[in-house]
Amino acid sequence: MTCRRTAVLGAGALGLTVAYRLVQAGDAVTVIEREPEAGGLAAGFEVAKRPDGTPVFLEKFYHHLFRADHAATSLIDELGLGDKLVWPTPVSTILRDGGIHRLDGIIPLLKFQPLPFVDRLRMGAVLAYLKAEKGYQRLEGQTAEAWLTRWMGKNAYQVFAEPLLRQKFGEYSDKIAMPWFWSRVHLRSTSLGYLLGGFQQMYDTLAHRIRSMGGTVSLGTTVTSIDPRADGTISIAANGESGVYDRVVSTLPARITIGLTSNMPEAFSRKYGQGTALGAHCLVLELDRQMTDAYWIAVNDPGYPFLAVVEHTNYIPPSEYGGKHLMYVGNYLPMKDPLYSRSKEELVAQFLPYLQRINPAMSESWIKEVHSFAAPFAQPVVTKDFKAEMAPHVTPIPNLFMANMFQVYPQDRGQNYSIAMAERLVRRLEREAHS
Q: Which residues bind ligand FAD (CB under 6 A)?
A: 9-15, 32-35, 40-42, 61-65, 222-223, 251-252, 256, 280, 330, 375, 378, 404-405, 413-416, 418
As measured in angstroms, the least distance from the Cβ of 9 to ligand FAD is: 6
Output b/e per residue, 5-19; b: 16+ Cβ within 10 A. Answer: bbbbbbbbbbbbbbb
Q: Are 86 and 194 in contact (CB under 8 A)?
A: yes
127 Cβ contact list (under 8 Å, min separation 6): 109, 185
Q: Identify the DSSP state of 336.
A: T
Alpha-carbon separation of residue 325 from 48, 55, 86, 162, 201 (angstroms): 11, 17, 19, 31, 21
DSSP conformation letters of 307-323: SEEEEGGGTS-GGGGTT
Which residue's beta carbon is nearest to the bound ligand FAD?
A: 40
| Nearest in space to 379 (alpha carbons), one of 340, 342, 405, 402 | 405
Q: How far is it between the farthest Cα atoms of the chain? A: 71
d(CA 328, CA 208): 29
**CB neighbours of residue 113 within 10 Å:** 11
As measured in angstroms, the least distance from the Cβ of 320 to ligand FAD is: 17
Q: Are 264 and 395 in contact (CB under 8 A)?
A: yes
β-partners of residue 250 are: 9, 402
d(CA 109, CA 121): 8
As measured in angstroms, the least distance from the Cβ of 32 to ligand FAD is: 5
d(CA 431, CA 330): 42
Q: Identify the DSSP state of 137.
A: G
d(CA 330, CA 324): 19
The CA-based angle 113-114-119, given to 5 degrees, is 90
d(CA 326, CA 311): 6
d(CA 307, CA 167): 6
As measured in angstroms, the least distance from the Cβ of 132 to ligand FAD is: 24
| Nearest in space to 19 (alpha carbons), one of 199, 241, 204, 216 | 216
In terms of CB distance, is 59 or 162 closer to ligand FAD? Answer: 59
| Nearest in space to 238 (alpha carbons), one of 252, 225, 227, 223 | 223
Q: Identify the DSSP state of 384.
A: T
Radius of gyration of the chain (CA): 22
